[in-house]
């Protein structure tokens, strides 16, 4: 069965096309991302701008066509924080369906966390000596989700309205940001993170999304991004703090020159994402985090596969 998912985040849009076997194992046919910045200005204005509307619609049309050209029998799409928060989010969803025939499911923070967990742990559950307890941290553009579970079953979920785009637009507006702005951002992040539960020593913490995968690529010194090397890589808190120290006084251009693993469309928000990550790791009392290149887009196709096999006569 060939399925496709489109994950429409506040900063990126991701397309995943997979072949899934009857036992649930899958092979990736295509996996790509576009930094679309759907959430630009949503935190301040609670609206998706006309310019963003048109630009993102074009991206979605291209990704849907790619999925269909690759033989996907089903294309599922989801929107998260930006579409939840924007007053014209429902209008955007209606227009996308009318113009290109793509139906977008706007996920609650809790459902986003659950599907992200399912996608992230899927690559670890099949490995020898796999852990039983997992926690998945997803630092997005508009929100941050933490999901705790036992193997494939979710036990506890939390969704916070703090993310890399939102925090950057509120406080870290200059490049590099001022000392005062960083201090204010830290105060806000710590306020949000303090509401998260602590983790048991037996829980394996997994990080998904662009902040964590970019840090893994930097730590591995990858000349070209390689999801197979990134997934499963453990990044120490000490290493993350060292990277943060190098970045906090640099402009966007200087960041990319120092670490070419940072994409142009991510450089202006990565400092905010790293702040959230560092404070989360301190809150959890752990020395680092294991990276996963998977996440919500994988959870979407796994759910679609589950539905399809349940309905199959």
Higher-scoring residue by pLDDT: 35, 126: 35
Hey, is 107 helix, strand or coil? coil
pTM: 0.84
> Residue 238: pLDDT above 90?
yes
Hey, is 209 helix, strand or coil? coil
One CATH from 3.30.1330.40, 3.30.420.150, 3.20.20.10, 3.40.50.300 for 110-291: 3.30.420.150
What pLDDT is recorded for position 124? Answer: 84
Q: Grade residue 76 by pLDDT with cuts at 50, 70 and 90.
A: very high
> Residue 64: pLDDT above 70?
yes
Q: Grade residue 187 by pLDDT with cuts at 50, 70 and 90.
A: very high
> Residue 101: pLDDT above 90?
yes
* Chain segment 146-177, per-residue pLDDT in tens: 999 988 788 888 888 888 888 888 888 888 98
**Boundaries of every domain in the chain:** 2-108, 110-291
Residues 6+ apart with CB under 8 A from 12: 33, 34, 35, 36, 141, 210, 265
* Chain segment 54-63, per-residue pLDDT in tens: 888 999 999 9
Is the distance from CB of 76 to CB of 304 less than 8 angstroms?
yes
Alpha-carbon gap, residue 266 to 175, rounded angstroms: 13
Q: What is the 8-class DSSP label of residue 27?
A: E
What pLDDT is recorded for position 54? Answer: 87
* Chain segment 188-215, per-residue pLDDT in tens: 899 998 988 888 888 899 999 889 999 9
In Å, how far from its chain's centre is CA 270? 13
> Residue 310: pLDDT above 80?
no
CATH 3.30.420.40 corresponds to the domain 2-108: yes
Provide the angle, in degrees to the nearest 10, between the axes of the packed helices 270-284 and 210-220: 90
Alpha-carbon gap, residue 63 to 66, rounded angstroms: 5
What pLDDT is recorded for position 152? Answer: 75
């Amino acid at each position: 069965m060939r399925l496709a998912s489109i994950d429409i985040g506040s900063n990126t849009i991701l397309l995943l096309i997979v072949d899934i076997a009857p036992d649930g194992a899958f092979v990736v046919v295509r996996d790509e991302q576009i930094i679309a910045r759907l959430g630009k200005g949503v935190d301040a204005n609670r609206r998706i701008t006309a310019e963003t509307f048109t630009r993102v619609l074009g991206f979605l049309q291209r990704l849907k066509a790619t999925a269909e050209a690759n033989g996907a029998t089903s294309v599922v799409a989801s929107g998260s924080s930006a579409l939840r928060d924007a007053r014209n989010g429902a209008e955007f969803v209606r227009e996308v369906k009318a113009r290109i025939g793509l139906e977008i499911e706007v996920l609650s923070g809790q459902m986003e966390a659950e599907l992200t967990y399912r996608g992230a742990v899927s690559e670890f559950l099949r490995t020898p000596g796999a852990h039983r307890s997992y926690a998945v941290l997803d630092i997005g553009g508009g929100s941050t989700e933490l999901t705790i579970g036992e193997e494939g079953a979710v036990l506890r979920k939390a969704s916070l309205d703090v993310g890399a785009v939102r925090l950057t637009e509120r406080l870290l507006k200059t490049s590099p940001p001022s000392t005062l702005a960083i201090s204010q951002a830290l105060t806000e992040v710590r306020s949000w993170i303090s509401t998260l539960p602590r983790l048991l020593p037996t829980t394996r913490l997994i990080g998904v999304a662009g902040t964590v995968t970019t840090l893994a690529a930097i730590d591995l010194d990858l000349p070209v991004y390689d999801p197979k090397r990134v997934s499963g890589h453990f990044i120490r808190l000490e290493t993350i703090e060292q990277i943060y120290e190098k970045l906090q006084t640099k402009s966007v251009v200087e960041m990319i020159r120092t670490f070419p693993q940072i994409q142009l469309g991510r450089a202006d928000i990565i400092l905010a994402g790293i702040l959230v990550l560092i404070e989360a790791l301190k809150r959890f009392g752990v020395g680092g985090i294991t990276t996963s290149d998977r996440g919500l887009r994988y959870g979407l196709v796994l759910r679609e596969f589950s539905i399809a096999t349940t309905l199959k006569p």
